[in-house]
Structure 1
Amino acid sequence: MKRLVLAAAMALFAAQAGAAEPIEGNWKTASGETAQIAKCGSAFCVTLKTGKHAGKQIGSLAGTKGEYTGEITDPANDKTYSGSGSVSGNSLKMTGCVMKILCKSQTWSRL
């Protein structure tokens, strides 16, 4: 009986650990704007919904299980960088890098 309970607990833990953290939804950016992340083709598109650059698509990310990679555009200077996003609960850590050496990160909050 102990083995059955232990096996069931381990299976439940493994299922939760493998569950994907969804990136889709509305996020408050570090500058206070709202960005929407939605499925577009085989990727997820990041579009600003509020602020000076509202309506502008600023990124495209692909991935699963809370880890995403792709491109991120800084709307202020219109430069595009290799980027990544990591979801943990209601937080999204967005990182943009130049030549994978110089990187800048922000944490966004789920709305």
Structure 2
Amino acid sequence: MKKTFFAALAATALMATPAIAADIEGNWRTASGETARISKCGGSFCIKLTTGKYKGKQIGKVSGTGPYTGTVTDPADDKTYSGKATVSGSSMKMRGCALKVFCKTQTWKKL
């Protein structure tokens, strides 16, 4: 009985993992109104602008299963910061920090 329960629990966990990662993938409306595409790139997720003045520019790379951690780049000045993304339903909090002290958070909406 216990063996069957643990086997079922393990199978459920393995099936749920791709669904968690898929939450961050897709098109997102940024705080400034552009569209950013988040897609797999190697073992991470790359964030690339698909509209606006900086269209085609990669502005971040995060990994994990949530919260996602990595780097974000301000496309206007090409400065890169440590980053963190937390997805909750159809919104995402994208946070960038310099020196782990000076941080800015934006809310993005999934399209």
> TM range, normalised to the smaller chain?
0.7 to 0.9
Instruction: State the identity as a percent.
Output: 63
Partner of 1:57: 58
Q: Which residue number corresponds to residue 3 of structure 2?
A: none
Aligned to 1:110: 110
Q: Which residue is equivalent to 1:29?
A: 30
2:94 corresponds in structure 1 to: 94
TM-score by length of structure 1 reads 0.81
**What's the counterpart of residue 75 of structure 2?**
75
Unaligned runs of 5+ in 2: 1-8
Distance 2:99 2:32 in 1: 24
Partner of 1:3: none
Distance 1:93 1:76 in 2: 20
Alignment size in residue pairs: 98
Taking the aligned partners of 2:39 and 2:90, their CA distance within structure 1 comes to 16
Deviation string for 1:76-100 (max 9, x for gaps)? 1110000000000000100000010
CA distance in 2, matches of 1:53, 1:20: 29
Q: CA separation in 1, counterparts of 2:88 and 2:67?
A: 9
Give the secondary-structure state (helix, strand or coil) at the position aligned to 1:20. helix
Q: Offset at 1:54?
A: 0.1
CA distance in 2, matches of 1:73, 1:20: 24
Query: What do you get for the CA RMSD once the two structures are aligned?
Result: 2.0
Greater helix share, structure number: 2
- Structure 2 distance, partners of 1:63, 1:100, is 19
Cα distance, 1:20 vs. partner? 2.0
TM-score normalised by L of structure 2: 0.81
Q: Where in structure 1 are there 5+ consecutive unaligned residues?
A: 1-10
